[in-house]
Homo-oligomer: A and B are copies of this chain.
Amino acid sequence: METTTVTLQETIETLLKNKKYATLRDILTTMNPVDIAFIFEDLQDEKMPILYRLLPKDIAADVFVEMDDDTQQFLIHSLSDTELKEVLDDMFMDDVVDMIEEMPANVVKRILRQSSSEDRKKINMLLKFPEDSAGSIMTTELVILRPGMTAEEAIKRIRRTGVDKETIYTCYVADNLSKLRGIVTIKDLLLAEDDVKVSDIMDTNVISVNTFTDQEEVAQMIKKYDFLALPVVDTENRLVGIVTVDDAVDVMQEEATEDIQKMAAITPNTDKPYLKIGILSTWKSRIPWLLLLMISATFTGLIISSFESALAASVVLTAYIPMLMDSGGNSGSQASVTVIRALSLDEIEFKDILRVLWKEIRVALLCGVALGMVAFLKVWLFDGVVMGNSAADYNVALIVALTLIVTVVAAKILGCCLPMFANKLGFDPAVMASPFITTIVDAISLAVYFLIATSVLHL
């Protein structure tokens, strides 16, 4: 997109240095809050308050919400109490709570001091929900209508109160006891006759979640039903908040990243973008699994040791160890990753285990036989005949091919069963991915290899 070599970032920094504040203000009014927030993140600290005070009042809070934690914290320190109060008043409750969760105690105190007592109560309520629950990501700013209102009255109410609400597109109909009775979209209201009652056009089959529902399930429901927002109720079915689609999108992306990290033997670390995570923090998320898997590989080593005499008698067998280990590991990780993803997208559940197993066994046989045949030709024809390695004979080729078939089948069975059992037992199936399964399959493939070898070669 860019055609000049000067970036907008550089232009803004130069204008700041030259104190061209009017020009800066003009530029800022043409920009989206998200893009302005990025500019802040790469700015020198002392320039931040200056640029912040140049922002048009109506987008200052939107820009603030989009900044990363460090930038927010620095800005809060340089804002006056009045300025801070203005920002907080313009922010949605769920964004305030998100921010507070990442701030040190003294900043949190200052934020709470600048909030109204009603907001303070709401913030404290939201802070109490467990991390990753619907309650922790919901917002409490929603439009509530009464069943007895007419469409015209409802629209008037929305026009009067809608400015502070995160979404006005889905409105919630509740009775005097705050019990959720139905949902009506602003589209329904606008397209209805003025004097139609809300209770006549509202949808009473409301799909809602509890404050303690896991955020991943909330996101999947919003995706499944194509909702713009999902109502959250407490244990007495009283409407307490909504989760909007933009937050669900963030949850989905975060959960996908976490799954990908777990599949690669990384303890999830998704709070910050890659380059902002410190060296020690990255190390801490990577070293536990590396150590555990390294120690587990001892078993594979033990198997090799126990067949030392066979290996000494036929050294050529050693050369095919990497090929067998890698093929087994890859076959297992294909199955496990496919099953883990299908579990997390709710495509399969534990009761499908026999169907999954039956499918994976058939695929494994097809894969195993294909690999076995190619490996046979490679060892016997290429290594033996073409390359002239007399040790790579018909027998060795047969041993390698048979081992491959057994290994691939074992790998795919483990690869599909372990994640499903982990899920059933309440563990995260993503941990049962390639690295973990590779370690087990390595041991199996070598044991099979040496057992077949000793019996075929009579070692």
Q: How far is the CA of A280 from the CA of B245 in the complex (A)?
A: 37
Q: Does A266 contact B (CB under 8 A)?
A: yes
- Which residues of chain A from 26 to 52 have a CB within 8 Å of any chain B CB? 30-32, 34
Is B287 touching A367 in the complex (CB atoms < 8 A)? yes
How many residues of chain A have a CB within 8 Å of chain B?
111
- Which residues of chain A from 238 to 286 have a CB within 8 Å of any chain B CB? 245-246, 248-250, 252-253, 256-257, 259-261, 263-266, 273-275, 279-280, 282-283, 286
Is A32 touching B225 in the complex (CB atoms < 8 A)? yes
Residue of B nearest to A445 (CB): B322
Distance in angstroms from A313 CB to nearest chain B CB is 11
Q: Does A190 contact B (CB under 8 A)?
A: yes
Is B333 touching A264 in the complex (CB atoms < 8 A)? yes
Is B327 touching A325 in the complex (CB atoms < 8 A)? no
Interface string of A300-322 (1 = CB under 8 A from B): 11101100100110011011111
User: Contacts A163-B191, A291-B371, A300-B323 known; A274 to B337 CB distance under 8 Å?
Assistant: no
Q: Does A409 contact B (CB under 8 A)?
A: no
Distance in angstroms from A200 CB to nearest chain B CB is 14
Is B321 touching A273 in the complex (CB atoms < 8 A)? no
Chain B residues near A433 (CB-CB < 8 A): 264
User: Contacts A224-B34, A287-B367 known; A318 to B333 CB distance under 8 Å?
Assistant: no
**Which of A73-81, A111-119, A123-131, A356-364 contacts the other chain?**
A356-364
> How many copies altogether?
2
Chain B residues near A280 (CB-CB < 8 A): 366
A265: which of B319, B333, B345, B356 is its contact (CB, 8 Å)? B333
Chain B residues near A318 (CB-CB < 8 A): 304, 308, 311, 318
Chain B residues near A260 (CB-CB < 8 A): 256, 259-260, 263, 337, 341
- Which residues of chain A from 350 to 393 have a CB within 8 Å of any chain B CB? 352, 355-356, 359, 362-363, 366-367, 370-371, 374-375, 378, 389
Is B207 touching A223 in the complex (CB atoms < 8 A)? no
Q: Does A329 contact B (CB under 8 A)?
A: yes
The residue among A260, A287, A347, A408 with the most chain B CB atoms within 10 A of its own CB is A260
Is A327 touching B297 in the complex (CB atoms < 8 A)? yes
Between-chain CB contacts (< 8 Å), 30 pairs = A155-B190, A159-B191, A169-B169, A186-B190, A223-B246, A223-B253, A226-B246, A228-B228, A245-B245, A245-B246, A245-B249, A248-B249, A274-B342, A274-B347, A274-B348, A275-B348, A286-B331, A286-B363, A287-B367, A290-B327, A290-B331, A290-B370, A293-B327, A294-B323, A294-B326, A298-B378, A304-B318, A305-B319, A329-B435, A329-B438
Given pairs A261-B341, A263-B337, A294-B371, 8 additional interface contacts (CB within 8 A):
A32-B225, A223-B250, A274-B338, A275-B359, A290-B370, A291-B370, A293-B327, A312-B315
